[in-house]
Amino acid sequence: MPSDPDHESIDDIIERVTVDAYGDEGHASFLCAFEDEVDYPTTATLAGTPVTLHHVDYDGNPTRGLVGAITNDAGQHQVALIDLDLEPGQPRRLLAAYRRWLGLDG
C-alpha cells in the first residue's frame, strides 16, 4: 500500500485490489479491501438521505455485486454498494475504484 493512499490513483487502487483476481473474483477482492480499509460504522448517503454503513457483504452473485448493510430512520436495509455515496477519503476512493472496475465510471 502506498504511504499516502489519498494520492493513490483510482487505477492504482484497482490494480492493487484485483492483482490476483480473475473474472468475478474481483468482487471478493474488493470486499476484502472494504473490510481492511474502511472503519465501520461509517457515514454515507443514499439518494441524498443520510445513512450509516455498518459493513459490506458479497453473496457470490456477480450480478448483484457488493451490498452495504445500512441503517437510517426507517430501519435496517441492504442496498447495492454502488448506490451509496461514502464519506471523503479512502472509503470514497475505494468505492470509485469499485465502480470503475465494474465499468460504471470512466
The pTM of the full predicted model, rounded to 2 decimals, is 0.87
Give the phi and the psi of residue 48 in degrees, each rounded to 5. Answer: 85, -5
Amino acid 96: pLDDT? 96
pLDDT band for position 8 (50/70/90)? Answer: confident
Give yes or no for residue 12 having a pLDDT over 50: yes
58 CB-side CA count, 13 A: 19
Give yes or no for residue 4 having a pLDDT over 80: no
Per-residue pLDDT reduced to its tens digit, 88-97: 888 999 999 9
- In Å, what is the CA distance from 70 to each residue of 35, 49, 76, 85? 15, 12, 6, 12
Q: Which three cell numbers stand for residue 71?
A: 441503517
Q: Give the chain's domain count.
A: 1
Amino acid 20: pLDDT? 84
Per-residue pLDDT reduced to its tens digit, 16-70: 999 887 777 889 999 999 999 999 999 999 999 999 999 999 998 888 999 999 9
- Domain residues for the domain of 53 are 5-102
Amino acid 24: pLDDT? 75
